[in-house]
Amino acid sequence: MKKGNIIEVNNLSKEFKIGTEHRDTLKSVFLNIFKRNTYKRFKALDDVSFSVNQGEFFGIIGRNGSGKSTLLKIIAGIYLPDRGSVKYNGRIVPFLELGVGFNPDLTARENIFLNGTILGLTRAEIRRKFDEIVDFAEIRDFLDTPVKNFSSGMYVRLAFSIAIQVDADIYILDEVLAVGDVGFQKKCFRRLDELQKKKATIIFVSHDVETVQKQCDRVLLLEHGKVDTIGPPKEVVKRYRKKIFG
């Protein structure tokens, strides 16, 4: 890897097979029992290359279906690419599907220990950080409530508050703050700013281009799975808006 880079994405490509026939009833299954399923190929990413500097707040924008989430999942190791490679230095914490390790029947208190352990925190670390997690999530009055009774906003607040306690070199966020209220979003970005000052790297995907323009050091614009442009936030957001609105 080149000096100063913490992530290098080289010639990344990823395709998915999408079924062209809908067999969503028992009758349709029996009528087509001997008929082979047909598929079409969707290229989510097409020869994508870029690098991210250590300590950078790096934004990724693009229309729905442009490949943003697929790209993040490959960087996080959730998907394997068909071609190309991702190299990185350090530990990654992905904020992609927050709360995936929660047990809905357990209380918030119990899920803090469960999810924290899944994310790699020791029980001693969780006990030490417990009050900070609870206060950050603003759920102290609901500690003994099963999380299945939480609103979507409370659920995300709790999940984010646990995950942000994990020490990492790279944090990957995909629209995870869209559910929280404005006050909570501001608090999250203050926390991310603190992490960035400690040389943590943030990769941030969002449709909120105003926030992208405000928070990011550089921005990548994806278009139909390809890199359209990479550059200063103001210029890239302007190009993105021109593509959408003409």
User: What global pTM score does this model have?
Assistant: 0.85
Dist CA 195 CA 179 (whole Å) = 22
What is the bridge-based pairing of β-strands 170-174 and 57-61?
Answer: unpaired
Domain boundaries, the chain: 5-245
- What is the reported pLDDT for 135? 95
Dist CA 110 CA 136 (whole Å) = 17
Dist CA 66 CA 68 (whole Å) = 6
Per-residue pLDDT of the chain (246 residues; tens, 9 = 90+): 788 899 999 999 999 987 655 555 655 555 555 566 667 788 999 999 999 999 999 999 999 999 999 999 999 999 999 999 999 999 999 888 776 679 999 999 999 999 999 888 999 999 999 999 999 999 999 999 999 999 988 988 999 999 999 999 999 998 776 656 788 888 889 999 999 999 999 999 999 999 999 999 999 999 999 999 999 999 999 999 999 887
Coil vs helix vs strand at 239: helix
- What is the reported pLDDT for 97? 72
5-245 CATH: 3.40.50.300
Torsion of CA 103, 108, 110, 116, to 10 degrees: 80
- What is the reported pLDDT for 71? 96
